[in-house]
Amino acid sequence: MQSTSHAFKDNAHEALGNRHLQSALDKMRAGFPQRRLDAIGKLPEFEDLREQGREIKNHVLENLDWYLERYERNVIAAGGHVHWARTPEEMRQIVLGLCRKLGARTVTKGKTMIAEEVGLNDFLESEGVTPIETDLGEYIIQLRREPPSHIIAPAIHLTKGQVEKTFRETHTDLPPDRNLEEPRSLVAEARTMLREKFLKADVGITGANFLIAETGSSVIVTNEGNGDLTQLLPRAHIVLASLEKIVPTLEDAAALLRLLARSATGQDMSVYTTVSTGPRRAEDPDGPGEYHVILLDNGRSGMLGTEFQEMLRCIRCGACMNHCPVYGAIGGHAYGWVYPGPMGAVLTPSLIGIENAKHLPNASTFCGKCESVCPMKIPLPKMMRHYREREWQRRLSPPAARVGLKFWAFLALRPPLYHFFYAIAAQVLGLLGRRQGSFYNLPLAGAWTATRDMPAPQGRSFQEMWHQRRKKKAV
Amino acid sequence: MSPAREEILGKLRGALKRGPLTGERAAKLEARLANHPAGIVPRRSEGLDRKGLTKLFEDQAVEIATTVERVRTLADVPRAVADYLSCHNLPAEFAAAPDPLVDKVPWSERPLLKLKRGKPSPTDAVGLSVGFCGIAETGTLMLLSGPDNPSTLNFLPDDHIVILPASRVVGPMEEAWRQLRESRGGAMPRTVNFITGPSRTGDIEQKLEMGAHGPRRQHILIVEDESLR
Ligand code: SF4
């Protein structure tokens, strides 16, 4: 997918003024966090499970090469195929090669962020293979030719009115006077439209929530059942997964599944958790005749062994964005690439380069909520800080900010000078602002005062009062 | 071997500052796979007897909008299925798994019920399968693909009925894995389906709607007969 992360500020500005988006985000902020709380409230072991999840993934990352080889061996033993892709381009070519070999004209797709990452849909289309998204949210945004705005709820930025309009424009064979007012009728219409596609598709492509080394299995988790129809009905099932999706055993998968749905949607378990191992067996009445897994690196090997390694524990639950005040204000599209919110603010610069995404690690208030809800205990704010440091070292931050910060650092390293300047500034601002009580506009801080007022200082500084208090005590 | 594979593995090893794992470290990983230790298991299903497990399973299943009926023996199944079908205005014809347990049901007692054995056609409104396990912890069904239970039965029909002997209800998912390992000597079926309620979506304004792509309704018949395995 083409990135617009460099234009984050403009994107965000636009998002704040988008009425539809803001009404959709209101609903999100009210929904996800409460459901998560309700679910973990019923599981006293949740905190311990987080710690355990963190350990399992850390263990995998330390031995990732070994587990990947073992996983590969077991996929092959079960009659499947494993392909390795260093780059998005390699992954696209492997998918296309398989489609060509199978004579595939249409491909159904379960929700996969990896396919978004490598820009698969546009590519397949340009090569004459029609991809059909089957997750309801993905289907809607595919019709609208938009990217997903959330990793588990891709159409969360839309209102039902917008979906209705899209369906009316696309499903032109249906009676124009049909009632599509309620989500129920929209869901039913999509179900009917997609059922046909499922039955006709030649190849089914899904992502993977986990890859199990012990058995060579891939695991997908959905609520709709679209992922299952996608992999069950066509002649071949292709799994797209990134390297770090590995877990050692079935038991480890069980342990992480307890975290995933609760953190994502506040369910104990998502409706369908499907563990697939190889193609249809000789005696099986259904299932795909071929089973392929394509493993994607695309920069992940470069994160291993660095301060960003911990990001590879991510299980893509979306909790960090559901709880993020910045995501909650601007939605996912403003982030400009596949992965939005706090996890995107770390992952995007890791995968496409900090020079292309330098605003993202700054799009944070550092409130720390993301880390506190992350089931894998990923220190997201710490890693954003690392990126801010890199940005500084590589002189990617804007000149005004650099000069300002340097000046501030000069003063802060000299406390007497700092207090001297501070006292003067407080007095001057206090005098100037005496009449109005606050400033609506400040020179050099125009961006700040554009959206808020700065209260005028009221006399003495904290430091002054502190010193006086100490003096008094000493007396 | 593909150059991509070698390069990726090489990069990973470079990042981890070591070569391929051998000797003791590899042996430790082998042992971890061979022993597949279970981690923290939620206490909610701990120490429950058969009755307790069945109750927890039923409570959890109902919570996620599955409907459950308990019947005493397999002989009660035809009546229960007929009632379910008529209560929802469904046709008396349905696709049924070729599972041996389905053969033991005295269907002839309800001559109006018409069973089609095997995988469903796209027009079949109702499917009937047999559960491998019921997981009490979350009210989840575990179904295995294979000649006895085509997986399409779990997804294509609008209504999915599952027969589950109470003796197959276990506590946590780890126990279900244990049963699978024991019953097939560690071999995995092509698909293991864990199903926790009917299909749903919240993709439009987060409003929960049932029947997105899979069954709109999920109905479980728990057969209490202790002699059934
Ligand atoms: S970073 Fe944590 S909270 Fe965010 S998606 Fe990944 S696992 Fe979930």
Model confidence pLDDT, tens digit, residues A235-248: 999 999 999 999 99
Looking at CA atoms only, how far is residue A444 from chain B in angstroms?
42
Q: Do A249 and B29 touch (CB under 8 A)?
A: no
Among A240, A273, A301, where does a domain finish? Answer: A301
Residues of A in contact with B147 (CB under 8 A): 283-285
State the pLDDT at residue A202: 96
Whether the predicted pLDDT of B215 surpasses 90:
yes
Work out the average pLDDT over A446-459: 78
What confidence tens digit (pLDDT) does each residue in B114-134 have?
A: 999 999 999 999 999 999 999
Q: Is residue A385 part of a domain?
A: no
State the pLDDT at residue B213: 93
Domain count across chain A:
2
Report the nearest-CA residue for atom 3 of ligand 1.
Answer: A374
State the pLDDT at residue A330: 92
Looking at CA atoms only, how far is residue B177 from chain A in angstroms?
7
Q: Is residue A323 part of a domain?
A: no
Q: Do B190 and A45 touch (CB under 8 A)?
A: no
- Domain span at A412: 403-474
State the pLDDT at residue A419: 84
State the pLDDT at residue A143: 95
Residues A265 and A142 in one domain: yes
Residues A291 and A412 in one domain: no
State the pLDDT at residue B1: 58
Looking at CA atoms only, how far is residue B44 from chain A in angstroms?
8
Would you list the DSSP string of A259-294?
A: HHHHHHTS-SS-SEEEEE-SS--TT-SSS-SEEEEE
State the pLDDT at residue A436: 78
What confidence tens digit (pLDDT) does each residue in A109-131 have?
A: 999 999 999 999 999 999 999 99
State the pLDDT at residue A142: 95
Q: Is residue A366 part of a domain?
A: no
How many A from CA of A338 to the centre of ligand 1?
A: 14
CB-based burial of residue A356 (10 Å sphere; 0-12 exposed, 13-18 middle, 19+ buried)?
middle
Q: Is residue A354 part of a domain?
A: no
Residues A241 and A126 in one domain: yes
Provide ipTM, 2 decimals: 0.96
Residues of B in contact with A52 (CB under 8 A): 39-40
Give the least confident one: A219-233, A407-421, B188-202.
Answer: A407-421
Residues A274 and A410 in one domain: no
With CA atoms as reference, the chain B residue closest to A91 would be B4
Q: Is residue A173 part of a domain?
A: yes
How many A from CA of A209 to the centre of ligand 1?
A: 13
B211 touches A: beta carbon within 8 Å: yes
Domain spans in chain B, listed from the N-terminal domain onward: 1-35, 44-223
Instruction: Give the SS3 label for residue A10.
Output: helix
Instruction: Give the SS3 label for residue A4.
Output: coil
Q: Is residue A183 part of a domain?
A: yes
Evaluate whether A467 touches A423 at the Cβ level (below 8 Å).
no
Question: Looking at residue A274, which CATH number applies to its domain?
Answer: 3.40.50.10420
Whether the predicted pLDDT of B227 surpasses 90:
no
How many A from CA of B19 to the centre of ligand 1?
A: 30
State the pLDDT at residue A6: 84
With CA atoms as reference, the chain B residue closest to A296 would be B8
Whether the predicted pLDDT of A280 surpasses 80:
yes
Residues of A in contact with B4 (CB under 8 A): 84-86, 90, 297
State the pLDDT at residue B226: 84
The CATH number of the structural domain formed by B44-223 is 3.40.50.10420
Whether the predicted pLDDT of A441 surpasses 90:
no
Pocket residues for ligand 1 (CB within 6 Å)?
A: A 263, 314-320, 343, 374-376, 378
State the pLDDT at residue A405: 84
Q: Rounded to two decimals, what is the model's pTM?
A: 0.92
Q: Do B204 and A187 touch (CB under 8 A)?
A: yes
Q: Do A275 and B191 touch (CB under 8 A)?
A: yes
Q: Which residue among B4, B12, B122 places its CB closest to the CB of A85? A: B4
Looking at CA atoms only, how far is residue B15 from chain A in angstroms?
5
Q: Is residue A289 part of a domain?
A: yes
Whether the predicted pLDDT of A218 surpasses 90:
yes
With CA atoms as reference, the chain A residue closest to B9 would be A65
| Radius of gyration in angstroms for the set of CA atoms belonging to chain A, rounded to a whole number | 26
Q: Is residue A155 part of a domain?
A: yes
Among A272, A301, A330, where does a domain finish? Answer: A301
Q: Do B152 and A302 touch (CB under 8 A)?
A: no
How many A from CA of A320 to the centre of ligand 1?
A: 5
Among A283, A301, A319, where does a domain finish? Answer: A301
State the pLDDT at residue A475: 67
Query: Closest Cα to residue A112, out of A138, A143, A140, A75?
Result: A138
A34-to-A29, A37, A39 alpha-carbon distances in Å: 9, 5, 9
Whether the predicted pLDDT of B194 surpasses 90:
yes
